[in-house]
A and B are shown apart, each in its own frame.
Chain A
Amino acid sequence: MRISLNWLKRFVKIGVSDQDLIRLIGARLVEVEGVIDETHKYDNIYIVKVESAEKIPDTHLTLCKINVGDKTNLAKVEYEDGLVQVMCGAPNVRAGMFAVWIAPGAVVPASVHEDAPFVIGKRKMLGKYDSYGMLAGADELDFGDDHTGIVEIDPDDAVCGDGLADVYDLRDIILEIENKSLTHRPDCFGMLGFAREVAGILNEKFDYELPHDNLKIGNGVKIEVRDEGICSRYLAMTLTKHGELKKKYLTWTDTILSKSGMRPVDRIVDATNYLMLLTGQPLHAFDYDKFVAVGGGGEPKIVVRLAHEGEKLTLLDGKEVILNGSDIVITSNNVPVALAGAMGGISTAIDENTRNIILEAAVFSLYNLRKTQMVHGIFSEAITRFTKGQPDYQCATVAEDFASLVSDGFRVTGVNESRAHDKKNAAIRIDVEEINSLLGTKYTEKKIAKTLENVGFVVKVKRERLEIEVPAWRTDIHIKEDIIEEIGRLNGYDNIEPTLPRHRTAERNKLWRLESQVRTYLSDFGANEILTYSFVSEKLLRKVGLDNGNSYKIVNSISPELQFVRQTLTPSLLDKAYVNQKLPIDKFAIFEINKVYQKGWGMDDEGVPTERIHLGLVAAERKGVGAAYYRAKHYAERLLRKLNVKADFVPISEKNAMTLPFEPKRAAMMVVNGVSIGVVGEYKNSVRRNFKLEEYLAGFEMDVETLRCVKQEKRVRDKYVVSGRQDVTITTTQDYAVVLKEIENKYPEAEISPVGIYQADGSREKNITFHLEFH
């Protein structure tokens, strides 16, 4: 949403600088995303009178002499009898009209924010005519898209030589407001509501009121709202033409529409849009006669109902939408003519021949409109306001405002409504102490009452207790805390003194700490921690032979690459191993600690999927030789030694998502006291090929929670003097672990470490050498 500060200043007296005002709006009302300074956007642009206009034969050009009033001393301009010569290509240029002249040296306003703003100068045209500056169209002035002619100024509004910016109040600053921060404030989507808040944060009472008569109900079109849940109030005003709407001069309203990000269209549509920007209440105008015709020509009747599934409607922008059962439609005798709250239909659109109007001022269910917005992708200014939950208290007054804006051409013939606004304003009671104890402030009851009254609350004070009546536009205020928020916010949260509450000693989270330790140990071992996405592709799962039926499937994934919640970490690590091998990086060990989910694990006590934290590591070399298995095992053992865990490496006996990628003949399960903590080894050839990885490749995957359970406190032997050393070589056909066990049994006191395993060519037996140290 865009807020013009000049417009704002028409409703509230501002005693601070613009800079302070913007800071206060940011601190106490809403997030200001951007500030557009238009102070100089219309510099050197003047209102002039075209004194003569002489068509140049065989061209579309007109040679004009313009009266620039008292601006007879401009640089880069030559005068002839006090007039300036300018060529104009617009068909509507004529002698006697008041137009807008961009003087030489000025920047075309529409290009001000472009990388290379367009500077107007003196040009020689058709080889002989000097042309100074240009007469501007609405599009060049950034007042819409109209490029059919030059802008015409009402002679009653200005005299020759007036600065355009002075006449139309264009030396302005525009705030770009982050809509999300006003999700709960429908009132602030109208300038009056916004201005009321600004008064509040400046500690001034907002007392701007538009004068209204009580709109009389009678002689209106029949209205039937099928379900009040979708439309709490529908007011329809009929108007009939009694004269031509005033000639289309550039108006101040046009400039407001443009500054607010909308485009001027015609008098009627502009009036509905302007009032929406002013009040937050969207309006829609139907061509009455078309409305009657669409409905079959009989007595007109407005029926508001949910659309039928598959019903079709062509909207104002020419697009046909296929409606669904949650869309709300306005119908003429049951024939859809508008998608309520979103956009009107083309069959009842206002045009230059419109003689009678039905003006709609209504409120629709934000829940239905939210779905409409999503399904049809319509993000109009109207639906943006409705989906914040506009209250229905101002339908009649805004309709009345519309009638007065178009009264030069139309007069009201009838008004009807589905129901009157009859909601009682909410009331809240709160103690001063309740406010101060939540905010940590010492505000007096007087200050609190004033703060609320400034923005339209009615407050009665009874001995430290406030009885508060909430105004109709504050749909967001329901409970005491909402009132506390108002007090804190309007007086400035920044005026609250920061304090520190008491605290105790925190408990240590053992798992979190273990994860941290493991990350540090592994990076100390030259491994690289990586993070990969929690979602993987079906293709990736298939590369390791995993069943995607065991993965939770994302139904609205960004791409097929991110469709399944991962079951284990190994596939993601192998994927990144490929990325790095391609870089190329010769040797690396990458690891990740993260959460994984498998459907097969079912739900936990809370009814949400059981989650496990895994640690995965992959070591890869482009030109490595030998068995990579032992590198991965070494990594696992070094880590486990740090955690004082002694694991046995036993053949894989379980086929599950974790063990599946590994080659059973060259991988092992790591078992501690009968509990499996994970798997280590080389991957199946098929897996390795699927990932296009070089042969030297191995890794492991562990369950971190299990690791925490088996982890032991470290014990140290307190004997450091070595009393003897011995190397022992055993010739054997048995596995290393079996031999090690024998040595351990034989020398229970010794610290045993491996030296090497040697096997001669053609021999069946191998020699295993151990180094023994005695203390």
Chain B
Amino acid sequence: MAYTEEELKKELETKEYEYGFYTDIESDTFPKGLNEDIVRAISKKKNEPEWMTEWRLEAFRIWEQMEEPEWANVHYEKPDFQAISYYSAPKSADPNKSLEDVDPDLLEMYRKLGISVDEQKRLQNVAVDIVVDSVSVATTFKKTLAEKGIIFMPISEAIQEHPELVKKYMGTVVPKTDNFYAALNSAVFTDGSFCYIPKGVRCPMELSTYFRINEGGTGQFERTLVIADENSYVSYLEGCTAPSRDENQLHAAVVELIALNDAEIKYSTVQNWFPGDKEGKGGVYNFVTKRGLCETNSKISWTQVETGSAVTWKYPSCILKGDNSVGEFYSIAVTNNFQQADTGTKMVHLGKNTKSTIISKGISAGQSQNSYRGLVQVNSRAENARNFSQCDSLLMGNKCGAHTFPYIEAKNKTAQIEHEATTSKIGEDQIFYCNQRGIDTEKAIALIVNGFSKEVLNKLPMEFAVEAQKLLEISLEGSVG
């Protein structure tokens, strides 16, 4: 994805959400509504073993008893869970097919998304699993990865092929009872990615999943499980897009990361779900639970660039269970027009000498509301825990809002916790200064925003950093002046 400067500039001229196309693929969609029969039907459709069906049903029963959370600083019309279809698969999808057999319309869609599901990826060292609506369509590089003993496949296949791993780890970091949306996901998830890195293996390429909601009136509930066995390393990226639609689409994912002793997982997200139009109509509700568990000497690093969704509710977190484990959270959240984001992280220090770093950059424009919500918790046994948090907000215009809700709970006297926060506004003075040097306003904003986000952009794998930078610019176009 080596964009030339020229391409970048061309892309910059695009004002509207550029992934807002709908591909007309015949799809196999369940009737709307949710009950035990639907849960069973999903499980059956996936040809799942009995234990999985039971697991889902248990989650469904838990969900039924739960109430939708209201503590986040977001306001929206609650989804009608009976008006959503919980399963939609492009009819032509068959996981056993090879790439040549994939529906040309689907391939065309990937082309529009800018992902080439072909050998080009080998050059870029990226293996991709693509989830459209509810089904995983193609996983590239299975063979290359298999030689190293790495398992990277749709979770539906993993349930069939590696039930022992799935059974052992699924729901251990994000239990079914965790929260309303996690319970819902546990009951109805249709696909997602599964990744296992064996002991001592350094994954030789970036693993990537691309999620896309295509069908109208459907929810997407993907489930991702990444296990890095002892002393292994993996870098994982997920990208998300959805077509522009008037109605709100629901996305409730669960991502679980497990870093065993001495392992390292780097998980990067570029989230560009449809944010709704300029009047605040439509857009994706993104209610996601992401959490990682760190065993001794391990490290989990979350990096996210959030530019899309009408409403975002998302806190990628780390449970620092093992001694000397490290958790990191680097985030850029952009909101424009009527978008609302309530995002941040939880760092739970349980082990000794655990360290966490939080760098959060919120950028609000238009009439949007952008909140950082973070928890740093130091358990009584966590000797010498360290945390550094930095939350910066950048405001554009007078109608948007930035909010910071940092929670700190320290139960051990040896803990060292630092929190820094700044709020600034892109000033007319800054713009005029740039203008005077020959830089027009759009470019000036891009420059200022990129400067503001630099610490986080630097954490992304190179090829995605370029994409993320471009996304930031597109998301904020026309927001000043």
> Does A associate with B in a complex?
no
- List the interface of chain A (C-beta within 8 A of B): none
Residues of B within 8 A of A (CB): none
